[in-house]
Amino acid sequence: MQYNPGWNSSSVNLLHVRAVGPADTLHYIWSSIGAPAVLLVATESRNSSLGINWSRLLSGSPAGAVWIDPPSSVVYATALVFTKVFEYRDTKVAEKLFYPTYDLSNFSWDSINHTLNPTALTAEFRGVPAADPTGSFSNGSVAFRVTAYEAGGRDGPLPSLLHTANSSKVEFVLAGVAPRGNGSRFALEVATVEELGVAQKLRSARSIDDEYTPTIFEMLSLGAESHNASSTLSFLQWKATAYGSRTPRREDSIQCWAESLQEANWTLPTSSIVRAYFGEGVGTTYTVSAINISFGGEEGGLYQEKRYLSWSALLGFGQPPMDTFSPLVISITAVALGTPILMLLVGTCVVLFAQRKRYSEYEPIN
């Protein structure tokens, strides 16, 4: 992990996570310059490095300020931008009543130098609106917690996402923010940037195995797929749940669902890190899609009570990790299905054996 490489000031945040493999390198560049975003770049060189022109990056025209050296080593690049937080409530008169949107590109972000932990490979971007006329953020904040991984495994805290060394985790946290109405619900808008010829697809997978995330049977993923190949290039993956506690338990679960994926050239705000790498062709040479992740059950009661919401997602390169049935679930299923079948087989054998043993003291009549 590198914080603001080549820049001595902590007035802005740029975090470079570099993972070196046997013949390639994965780059994750997180930034809160503009809207919070992460740039993912895969290269086929073990020696590829990040280059930054800081004066251009912090100017009004950041195009070309961020690059990977050598450029010929880059095999794939994409970006995720966390653009807006919506607050709304359902009404009987209309479907939804929206309050003024929180545009994350207009937030003021704390220095992550205080939360960066190179040993645990974690960092936290925390921000509040530059202008807060309603005072909703007087005791609250929005945060994006970033975690990188050195090896495969499973997170301890719920939702206990399964990860690989090729992936990272981002946790969206809304803490202490005062709702502007009774029964407020929240939604996070996520935009993706892809090269032409690559399309994002939203998929849902259901499983009867909820051992690691109790009562949650659905996994959602947003995957980038090339039109010329069926393989997945990158992904954003999450369980269909959020949590309303700093130490989440099953009863703290908050309903989470995804709206339909849409073309969103109109919704991408000025994000310096994205335009710095992709240039001014975002929206023409590159396609932008957006999806809303919504949180809140009936009347949004849990957030009203605790004023805390956290949602975790995994992002990375290639296919997203898939859970397999655990030995515990396989054993339970085998017992549940095997016992009736075994009883049926034993009963059938007993009946057949009893029929063969039948005899009579009378001679048959010829």
338 and 259: one domain?
no
DSSP state of 66: E
Same domain, 299 and 345: no
Determine the pLDDT at residue 354: 73
Tell me, yes or no, whether 295 and 352 share the same domain: no
Do 116 and 247 belong to one domain? yes
The per-residue pLDDT for range 239-254, each reduced to its tens digit, is: 999 999 999 999 999 9
The domain total for the chain is 2
Q: Indicate the burial class of 181 (C-beta count within 10 angstroms; 0-12, 13-18, 19 or more).
A: middle
Between 281 and 159, residue with greater pLDDT: 159
Closest to 18 in 3D by CA, of 55, 53, 52, 43? 43
Question: 330: Cβ–Cβ under 8 A, 6 or more apart, which residues?
Answer: none
CB contact at 8 A, 308 and 175: yes
> What does the buried/exposed string (b/e) look like for 315-328 if buried means 16 or more CB atoms within 10 Å of the residue's CB?
bbbbbbbebeeeee
Are residues 298 and 341 both part of a single domain?
A: no
Please report the DSSP string for 143-203 in residue order. EEEEEE-SS-EE-SSTT--EE-TTEEEEEEEEESPPPSSTT-EEEEEEEEEEETTEEEEEE
301 and 334 assigned to the same domain: no
The pLDDT assigned to 94 comes to 65
Tell me, what's the pLDDT at 350?
A: 81
Residue 313 has what pLDDT?
98
Same domain assignment for residues 357 and 279: no
Residue 230 above 80 pLDDT?
no
Cα–Cα distance between 201 and 62 in angstroms, integer?
Answer: 30
Place of tokens 């991984």: 149
Q: What is the predicted pLDDT for the residue at 183?
A: 83
Q: What is the pLDDT of residue 347?
A: 83
- As a whole number, mean pLDDT of residues 24-29 equals 97
**What is the helix (H) or strand (E) element at residue 343, kind and residue range?**
helix 327-356
Residues 360 and 240 in one domain: no
Q: Is 20 helix (H, G, I), strand (E, B) or coil?
A: strand
Count CB atoms within 10 A of the CB of residue 152: 12
Give yes or no: residues 200 and 341 share one domain.
no
Asked whether residue 64 falls in the same domain as residue 190, the answer is: yes
Is the Cα torsion angle 64, 69, 74, 80 positive or negative in sign? negative
**How many alpha carbons fall within 13 Å on the CB side of residue 284?**
4
In a domain, 325, yes or no: no
In tens, the pLDDT along 37-60 reads 999 999 999 999 999 999 999 998
The answer to whether residues 264 and 344 belong to one domain is no
User: How far, in Å, are 8, 199, 202, 265 from residue 289 at the CA level?
Assistant: 35, 9, 11, 7
Higher-pLDDT residue of 85, 267: 85
Max Cα distance, the chain (Å): 114
pLDDT at residue 359, as a whole number: 54
Tens of pLDDT, residue by residue over 50-87, are 999 999 999 989 999 999 999 999 999 999 999 999 99
Residue 346 pLDDT: 81
pLDDT at residue number 103: 95
Picking from 299, 179, 188, 168, the residue whose alpha carbon sits closest to that of residue 234 is 168
> Which among 300, 320, 351, 355 is positioned nearest to 223, based on CA atoms?
320
Helix H or strand E encompassing 218: strand 218-226
* Full DSSP string of 103-158: EGGGEEE--GGGT-BTTTTEEEEEEEES--TT-TTTT-EEEEEEEE-SS-EE-SST
Residues 227, 357 within the same domain: no
Domain assignment present for residue 78? The answer is: yes
CA distance 84 to 129: 11
Residue 112: domain span: 2-317
Q: Please report, for residues 70, 181, 189, 234, 318, the alpha-carbon distance to residue 45 in angstroms, rounded to integers and kept in the order given.
A: 9, 52, 34, 19, 17
194 pLDDT higher than 90: yes
On whether residue 289 sits in a domain, the answer given is yes
